[in-house]
Copies of this chain bind each other. A is one copy, B any other.
Amino acid sequence: MLSYKISIIGSGNLATRLAPELENAGHRIVEVCSRNPKNAKSLIAKLYNAAIKYDYDFTQSVAEIIIIAVSDDAIEEVAKEVALNESMILVHTSGTRSLDLLSYAAADHKGVFYPLQTFSKTKRVEFDHIPILLEASDDKTMRVLQNLAGSISKKTVPLNSEQRKAVHVAAVFSCNLVNHLFRVAEEILAEKKLTFDLLGPLIVETVNKSLALGPASAQTGPAVREDYETLDAHMEYLKDDLFRSEIYRMISQDIIDTR
């Protein structure tokens, strides 16, 4: 197993989860760069021997890979300020931003290292099944990123920026938009003094079935059965709330149209 010396820019949710994971896999985090000293100190405390660094000049650093793990909006600014040696690899970790964004940096070796997962500082996640989506400016960089990703996950996926954009849009549909439908369900229950946990077993089984059979085969419920009596009763129930009734109507209609 190859071992790399890595510096991380950022100390948010992803940096906090990723840096210790990389050290567990045998790499060394040499520096954490952050403009939030409190977050940076709390991250350093989890690492073997990393230093806090307050600028983006890596020309004197021993790091081989510089990982930009800041919010999407801040990547461009960091790329403009960063100073690197010729052999260093510079990567960002965004699902939406293109590799080209790193062209602002004077870097010969650029890449994207995007773990497809939702991270919180307070919740541990297992990395070994998280797909890590990779993109690189050149073959040598791709090989290094494959080694790095392969050391923490069984699933490394080389993608171009256009494919990664599709993955990110699909992720919003199946996670953020889905979570908002859970919130609507929670509110519908709360209006009758009932709690969301009532739906827990049903939601877990729905997801398991959808992942096992594929969502087209797994569909159940009144729309796919064309049970118009139930659909009408639900539309009547929802009629005082424009958002709920429109979402219910539009998605149910599409379920019927794509049966």
Contact = CB atoms under 8 A, between A and B. Distances in A.
Given A118-B220, A227-B73, A251-B247, A197 B211 contact: yes
Interface of A: 72-73, 96, 116-118, 120, 123, 125, 129-131, 157, 159, 162-163, 165-186, 188-189, 191-194, 196-207, 209-211, 214-216, 218-224, 227, 229-230, 233-234, 237-238, 243-244, 246-248, 250-252, 254-255, 258
User: Does more than half of chain A's interface fall in helix, strand or loop, or is it mixed?
Assistant: helix
What is the oligomeric copy number? 2
A96 to B, nearest CB: 5
Contacts of A199: 116, 167, 170-171, 174-175
Given A123-B209, A163-B192, A189-B170, A176 B73 contact: no
Contacts of A192: 162-163, 166-167
Nearest to A211: B200
A169 B219 CA distance: 16
A198 B214 CA distance: 12
